[in-house]
Amino acid sequence: MRWSNPLARLCVCAGALLIPFAAQAASEDDPWEGINRPIFKFNDFVDTYALKPLAQGYQFVTPQFLEDGIHNMFRNVGDVTNLANDILQAKPTAAGVDTARLIFNTTFGVLGFFDVGTHMGLHRNDEDFGQTLGYWGMGSGPYVMLPLLGPSTVRDAPSKFVDSYTGPYPYINDVPVRNSIFGLNIVDTRADLLSSEKLITGDKYTFIRNAYLQNREFKVKDGQVEDDF
């Protein structure tokens, strides 16, 4: 595949840069809270007065079937990232499922508008390069709140750059088209999270941090998380 060589080089570079940070103990998962909280407040301000209203307006004017179809199309594109990381994690079964999903959803599903793969019993995997590094033993390192991008870790933040090469944006030369698709993806993602806001309780920063870290551990370990009780 054309992406394999540059992706491999990025994997090596990202891994080498992250090793000193990822060795930190799990008890120090948020040593930079003093910096993370102000960034979180900035993100929350932007979300409250820009992203959330856009997402609510998008949901209001978009018929449900169209909203679902657009969401499915972005998920279909995301299956390329899943497949790439299935291969990097040496998971042939998952790679086969995601390959089949890409083929069936792109063809019979009209470029992914209809998720025929799920109806055929091909359930979507959710993998990224941060999980790949974790799968091969790299610790997450400290929690990091990224401006505009949201919660992450020292391991996962640079991994977003690696995953970007399995997405469409680096290969779209038409800037207005690229920006329009990227913007729609952001609004679609935010709209999909609207129904989850009611679950947030207590201190919002702490809730989101803990939920993110627990979810990442669950994904890296493929659901095999030890019960602490």
Cβ neighbours of residue 72 closer than 8 Å, sequence gap 6 or more: 105, 109, 112, 113, 114, 115
The per-residue pLDDT for 29 is: 78
Q: For residue 158, give Cα distances in angstroms to 129, 140, 152.
A: 9, 12, 10
The per-residue pLDDT for 226 is: 65
Find residue 146's DSSP bridge partners. 150
The per-residue pLDDT for 16 is: 42
The per-residue pLDDT for 227 is: 56
Confidence of residue 224 (pLDDT cuts 50, 70, 90): confident
Q: For residue 67, give Cα distances in angstroms to 47, 74, 157, 196.
A: 20, 11, 29, 17
Distance, CA of 149 to CA of 151 (rounded, Å): 7
Residue 143 has pLDDT above 90, yes or no: yes
Environment class of 222 (CB within 10 Å of its CB; exposed 0-12, middle 13-18, buried 19+): middle
Phi and psi for 107 in degrees, rounded to 5?
Answer: -90, -75
Environment class of 97 (CB within 10 Å of its CB; exposed 0-12, middle 13-18, buried 19+): buried
DSSP states along 197-209:
GGG--S-HHHHHH
Residue 178 has pLDDT above 70, yes or no: yes
The per-residue pLDDT for 170 is: 94
Per-domain residue ranges of the chain: 4-217
Token readout for 181 is 């698709």
Instruction: For the chain, report the end-to-end CA distance as a whole number of angstroms.
Output: 46
Residue 148 has pLDDT above 70, yes or no: yes
**Residue from 151, 154, 79, 145 nearest 109 by CA:** 79
Q: pLDDT (tens digit, 9 = 90+) per residue, 29-47?
A: 799 999 999 999 999 999 9
The per-residue pLDDT for 145 is: 98
The per-residue pLDDT for 179 is: 96
Distance, CA of 78 to CA of 66 (rounded, Å): 18
Token readout for 4 is 């394999």
Find residue 143's DSSP bridge partners. 153
The overall average pLDDT reported for the chain is 88
**Residue from 141, 179, 137, 135 nearest 158 by CA:** 141
